[in-house]
Structure 1
Amino acid sequence: MAVIVLDTTGHVIFANAEARHLLHLEDRLSGMGIAELMPEWPLLSGVCTVLAGDRPGCRRLCRVQVISWPTGAETVTAAFLEPVDDERPAGHAAREANLRLRYVIEMLPEAVCVFDANDRYVLWNQKYAELYADIAEHLRPGVAFEDILRTSLAGDGMCELVEDKEVWLSERMKKFHQPVSQEEQQLRDGRWLRHDDRRTPDGGAIGMRIDITGLKQREDWLRQLFDANPMPMLLCDGDSLAILQANRAAVDFYGIQPAVLLSKRACDMHVDSELQAFEKVLLHLDSDCDARTIWRQTTQDGSERHVLIYVRQLHEGAEHRLLLTVADVSDRILAETEANRLAHHDILTGLPNRMQFYKALEKALASEERGKVIICCLDLDGFKPVNDTFGHAAGDEVLRNVANRLQMHARGHLVARLGGDEFAILMTGERAEAIDLAERCIGAFEQPFTINGLAIRLGISIGIAAADGVDREALMQEADRALYRAKADGRNIWRMTHQDLPVLKRAKA
């Protein structure tokens, strides 16, 4: 027979060969704690049938008889082990399975409880008992779950934060009876638990109580970062693009009430011409999207804003979300537009400048109607005395008025200020149309300009040149030559290049 002798502390001080062979511990038996060999230790007096061995899966069912006797100040215990036949009773197999289940739930980091088909407690681990210290002494196999909840509600030590006890109990039991239920519960000490209950095939249930305090804190921090972010942010569904959340900056930016904003889709604020394009981008994202395209959106007051939109994909289980961060770049676009306008327009009159006029002329000369391109070079007559007599401020005002009159009589043709009191008009048409244009412009100066209450009379001389296959430089030279002739012939008149005059063509590189 296998024999194990223990000291007062429950450690093996002797084991015979049969014991070492029975427990498959030839070398390691001496010094081991008896609880490592028999998890159900201490045993009841008499003969017991227990599982013996150093680890789960390697234990054998044995009949054990325990005898203790004093030796001076200490007590020595002897355990006599006899293996049970392999044909073990069903009760012993169930006992082994139950013991293994206990080991499993004790190893889990969460509080766990197991219920039978009648919602009565079967098992629970130590973490569960520690979590619900107010009802730990009432826990026992066979007690109903609802009775334990009522006991907790009736006492003063309930850990859950509950407002209406009856409503809470009713809702708690309703969810508990569902096949799968998850519920977040705040505790009185500020912590948060997730109740995760699932029904088993035999009608019973397994419940886990998971501490999600850290998760809730991170969610709260993220929510605060989201709400307090100065940039407009939208959280939307990745499939329908429905807006699920909008921060305060988004509400202020779009000028839309939160409830209304949450009834829209992420693309609904785009201008009509860009709505479908942006929708397509969001629905076909393969990864996060850094803002590279400038989109146009409209706000509640009808104003149009230029925006860059950063998109981040968020996945939580089967759910797909998109986080949109909107950067308003309207001021930058306006500044760039204004800078571009100033680079190509005269600051004083707002007319296209020499650079813009040359670009337009080059484009016209490269078009299919290049044979009908005509330019008029205009120079004011009598402008210098205005600056000398009334000052440059008055001269600037005259130039602005000249620009307005020329634009009015040009009837849509490009009018540019080349510099000083020199202007130019670019048109495409017949020579007769150019002559009619020149006559209108000269007629526009019949009325004096009124500056500071004074009537100022000016004239204008115009030189007209038709392309006739020449390049830009040659065409400008011909217009200047015609302008000099108009000046020499008495001013305030127009002249056109004679067909029989030689045309200077610029050699091309």
Structure 2
Amino acid sequence: MTGKDWQAGGKGGKSVAAAVGLVYAAVAAAPASAWAAAIGLSTDNHITGTDAGVAWEIFTGGFIAVSFLAAAAIWVTSVLRKARRSLRRHAFVSSGLNNLNQGVVMTDSRQRIIFCNDRYLEIYGLLRSDIRPAMTDPELGDLRRARGVLDACSDQFYRLSNACDGLFTELPDGRLIAVKRFKLPNGGSVATHEDCSEQRKLARQLATTKQFLESVIDNVPVCIAAKGIEDGRYILVNRAFERFSRVSRDFIVGRRADEIFQPQTAANIAATDQVALASPDSHYYSEMVFERGSEKRTLANNKVVARNEAGQPVFLIALFEDVTERKSLSRELENAKKFLETVVDNIPVSLIVQCASDGHYLLANRRAETILNRRREDAIGLTASDIFGPRDAKLIVARDEMAVGNGGLLTEEHPIRTSEGLRLFLTRRVTVRGDDGEPQYLIKTNEDVTDRRQTESRMAHMAYHDGLTDLPNRTAFLKALSQMIEACQGTDDEFAVLSLDLDGLKEINDVFGHAVGDSLLIEVARRIQSAAHGGLVARLSGDEFGVIIDGKQPAVGQALAQQIVAAMVPEFLIDDKSVRTGLTTGISLFPRDGTDPASLLANAGVALFRAKAKSRGSICVFEPEMDRQIRDRRVLHRDLSNAMRNGELSLHYQPQARTGRKLVDDDVIGFEALTRWSHPTRGFVPPGDFIPLAEESGLIVAMGEWILREACREAASWPSPKQIAVNLSPVQFIHGDLVGLVHSILLETGLNPSRLELEITEGVLIEDFERSLALLRRLKALGVRIAMDDFGSGYSSLSYFQAFPFDKIKIDRGFVMYLGRNPQSAAIVRAVIGLGHGLDVSIVAEGVETQEQLGFLADEGCDAVQGFFIGKPEPIAHYATLVGRPPRIPEAIRRKAG
């Protein structure tokens, strides 16, 4: 601007000079007479040439002087005008620089301060008077350093402030000043000083906010990804996206979907992107399949388009979460709901759900239609008043309100008139409360218990009555006996307890069948009741009856027993069959023979036992000495309980051999394990004494387990793999897991199942034929052999062999002992052997004690024999050589040899 002014002034001077020159040229060209006339000299005065010349020179000189003075005046005027313009321009620039928000310092080529604005002084707390004339920039730095507003040395200050980023210095009051220096072409410099404190604060807030938002986004469990619209490249992904995709975010950012994901997934992403961009509300929700390695996941995809101020799309933000499990759970929930609806709909109990506040029906299952007398769909939304009559509805509503008010379970039985007639229902009401604790639902179940109550009534009768004869059973008899004792205590009253045993019932069943036997029991019960004359009659067990009769004893009891026995004398005509039977009677008296039901009944049983020992049909009254036998049995039972723990039981082994007229050791095929009891005081106790006692008391279960384990353990140790036979009691089939026991013992001992032979009697099948048959089949499936023991001594139905494939039949010793003396025995043995061969079942004869018996059996083709003639039951050491062990040397001989 100054240059331009100076240029304008120059041009004005040149114009003045030109004007002066033009004037001077005009004067020189005019004639002297003209100039003389001009100045007033007349030519008529005849001025001379010399005077004219002088005059012209004076005029010319004066004119030039005047022109020079005029040009000087014009130049001075121009200079003054330019100076005024420069001063105005300088004031304007100074005013502008002083009002900048930045401090400005200008130096010349010698680093002298030529300008410093007010903002600079204000920033550093300086005064205008602090800036001396001709002060240099380093001196200004020293001043600031002395004032404590510059913490950098001169070299560092100039080096950093000249850099691109400039110098940042922090003042004592915490303000941050940004300094930048710019060099000028003339060698000087301009430095700007800007207070960045507020910017720094805002920058820190921005950084904190950015970090917070990034942290929030990064920790949101929903996957978030953002991409640019123009190039489709991802610019942001959070940690959830990284975890889900199993791809590092460093790899994802800057790449497109087709560079990261599988083709199908990338195509799905691109398709949903286009739909979101075309959506009028810039938002699109969808579900898409995402391929992650070898698996496919279902994603709930929510895409939002971010637009700029002009409304143009800039970014596409995708928020999605993996809903694979949720959808799977939803399907499972739906299936579970359908399943529960099916279950609820098919339970055999009426189920109704009502709103607790207004009683409207919300749910009813199919069974409820019987009570509602309409389809369940038609009942939804109705109340009890809409469905039932006024009287019934009033009663139902009152009970519903009571249940809601109670809050607990309310149960009652009441009749309800249904389409099937009047039925008895068990109604249960329970209130379900909401989260606020207020009643929300009332659930009612109505169970038709008409048939159950009728059944329970019948069962109550059956609980105290015999199902066949309809007489009171043992439980009712004992209860009546207790009541009788209570009534007679403290008085002189007496009564008798009769225990009656029906004679020959087993034989009748064997000959005529169980149907005839059952009919006989019914007729016997009627005759006993008829002869009892008011006495209480009960059926105590299969063929045992009991009677309670009061009066003078023992005369009244004996007289009644004789009357009952007499009532049995006439034949019974059953199904056109003439059947005869009798009764054996034992009698105990109150209070002489006992003052409690158990003692009286037990003593009557003892008397019955003594009566049977005498003869069938006899009558026996209990005597105190009879109790000694009972006490002896009880003591023996107690000792038997301790026998196993004390090691008093042992096993003896009796050999079984192939049949031949002459037997050798090689004919021995196996052994039967037999239990022996060596009592510490009684000595040897016969098996016939303690085995029945063990079966009556149930000790046979534990004893049988010990016998089976010991026999298998012993047989497994034999070098020679011979058979081992073990007897099973019918009690073992009733109690415990017999099949599991045998299996575990075989595994424990390592005995080959084919070497084990289990012997049963017909009693096993008589107790519970179907159950026992199933157990035998399971035992046989283990690989063991099953033998029928004592065949011919009892019922011995041939149907057993039709139902179960026995491996062996053992002919009872009662037939073998009479061979050679009784033709009937020989015929029976011969028939059994033929039966066995016809069924492909091995036959073993027990009780062989003579050569004659052995010869007969050999001639008839009996497969094997067992008995004293073959070998007595002995400890296994006695048969060491037969099982492949070295013979045992007697102790005396061993000592002598030693």
TM-score normalized with structure 2 length: 0.24
Rg larger for: 2
TM-score normalized with structure 1 length: 0.39
Structure whose residues are more often strand by fraction = 1
Q: Greater relative contact order: 1 or 2 (C-alpha under 8 angstroms, separation 6 or more)?
A: 1
